[in-house]
Every structure is written in structure tokens, then in C-alpha cells.
Amino acid sequence: MRPRLPLALVAAGFVLVGPTATPARPVHAASPRRILCSGGYVDGIVGGEHKCLRAGEFCSARHESDYRRYGFTCVNGHLRRGSGASSPAPAAPPAVLPGRTALLLPRIRASGCRVRGPLPDRRCSPGAVYANATLAMICTPGYSSAVRNVPESEKATVYAEYGIPRTHFGRPYEVDHIVSLELGGSNDIANLYPEAAYNPSPGFHVKDRLEDRLHDLVCEHRMGLRAAQRAIASNWLALYRSVFGVGP
């Protein structure tokens, strides 16, 4: 897929490209921006944005249902013409999974933590990654599910460090990974923080859209993995604006 996309530079020195999928809030409810595809490509909407599709182009297995609407299927990370009844078996997670955690900054506090709007307290939650996670691992469908391991006891500790009762008093939270698993993030408590759904806004649903887009950019070799990890841990709101060209 080779759409013509706007460019945006971020401080880390990498170039990010691409429009956003349609967010849920009314202010961003416009239809995906149409792009002009070259001859031989099919204009389709994949993951909420216009893509130029052609056999052999890179694809993401999680958008299989979108590809099939235009007569394609995603096989081993590349588009193939035809969407017959015999679908390829899902790719197995990597046989070797990462295990060594590296903190992006020292974790200097374990109590009295305070969220900064939608952002974590980096004294408590600096972000952490699996140092030996590779592109081959994280770009394999099923990787995130294979490594996800955050027990309830660890979630309870995160809430306690931030002084948030588990009842939440009507404000839905989730314990979120600062660097997402699909970007090589770790399950270590240094990479976890309580993120609200909508108050403060933007919440974890918006961050999820950014994580999906970053995963595509990294796996398409359009953004470095380490740069993506550092940027999302530093300030995901600023990174969202750089990636999508509009605030969350």
C-alpha cells in the first residue's frame, strides 16, 4: 500500500506519516480523507482510513475483514488477490519470547504518584520495554496476547501507588501499558499506570488508536522501534499530534 500521506517531524528525529482513523468524538467524526491511488491500486478503507491496495503490498492481519471487502487477503504480512473460503491459518506467536526488561528512566517513587491529566507520573511510571524484543517478534500476529501478563495483584499495586480506590467512584479506569505490548513494552510495573476512559480526556481509547498506528509504522519500517518507544513514553499526546496532524 502506497498512499500519499502528509509528513510530520517529531523531536526524536524520525518522520511519521499518515492520517488518522475516525475518532469517536463528534469533533473528529469526518469521513476518512480520500487519497489518489496510482494505476493498478484499489482505493479502500482499511482501519478507518483510505489505503491504496495491491497484491504484494504490506498488510496487517488485524484488518483482514477490511481487505476481504476489496478482494484481498493478508498472507504472511502481504496482500494476496482473492478471498476464497480457505483462509490461511493464523500465524503462531514467536517461539522465543522476550523476557529481559529495561526501564526507560529510573523508577524513583512507589507511592504518592499523581497522573498528569492523561499522562503518567514518570517518577513512578517511567516506561519499560523488553530489551530483547525484535521486529520479527512484535510484528507477528498473536505476539501481544502471548506476552500479556498483568495479574490482578499488580493492578492493585498500581492503583494503590496512585491513590486510586479500586471502586473508582464512577470513573472507569484501566491499568494501561505506557509502551504498549505491540511496541515491545514490558509488563513491569514501571510500564503501567491507571488511565481513565474519558475523565480526564483524552483517555485510553484514544491512546489505543495511536498504538495501533505506531505498530503499523514500525512494522512497515517507516519508524524506528526504539524511537517509537521513547516518544510514547515521554508524551503520547504530543506524539499523537505528530502522527495524525491533529490533537487527540
pLDDT interval class at 86 (50, 70, 90): very low
Q: Which domain holds residue 153?
A: 101-244
Domain end position, chosen among 81, 111, 129: 81
Sign of CA dihedral 25, 27, 30, 36: negative
29 with 61, same domain? yes
16 with 134, same domain? no
* Residue 39 is assigned to a structural domain of this protein: yes
Total domains, the chain: 2
* Residue 96 is assigned to a structural domain of this protein: no
* Residue 93 is assigned to a structural domain of this protein: no
Residue 164 has pLDDT above 80, yes or no: yes
Q: Are 202 and 118 in contact (CB under 8 A)?
A: yes
Q: Are 93 and 61 in contact (CB under 8 A)?
A: no
Mean pLDDT is lowest, of 58-72, 83-97, 186-200, 210-224, for 83-97
75 with 149, same domain? no
231 with 138, same domain? yes
Report pTM: 0.64
pLDDT at 44: 80
Rounded-to-integer distance, Cα 183 and Cα 214, Å = 8
Between 133 and 59, residue with greater pLDDT: 133
Residue type, 60: S
148 with 77, same domain? no
pLDDT at 131: 94
Q: Which residue is associated with the grid cell 517507516?
A: 222
pLDDT at 18: 40
Three cell numbers written together for 132: 530483547
The model's pLDDT over 136-145, given as tens digits with 9 standing for 90+, comes to: 899 988 888 8
Question: SS in 3 state form for the chain?
Answer: CCCCCCEEECCCCCEEECCCCCCCCHHHCCCCCCCCCCCCCEEEEECCEEEEECCCCECCHHHHHHHHHCCEEEECCEEEECCCCCCCCCCCCCCCCCCCEEECCCCCCCCCCCCECCECCCCCCCCEEECCCCHHHHCCCCHHHHHCCCCHHHHHHHHHHCCCCCCHHHCCEEEEECCCHHHCECCCHHHEEEEECCCCCCCHHHHHHHHHHHHHHHHCCCCCHHHHHHHHHHCHHHHHHHHHCCCC
Sign of CA dihedral 216, 87, 42, 30: negative
Sign of CA dihedral 173, 177, 180, 182: negative
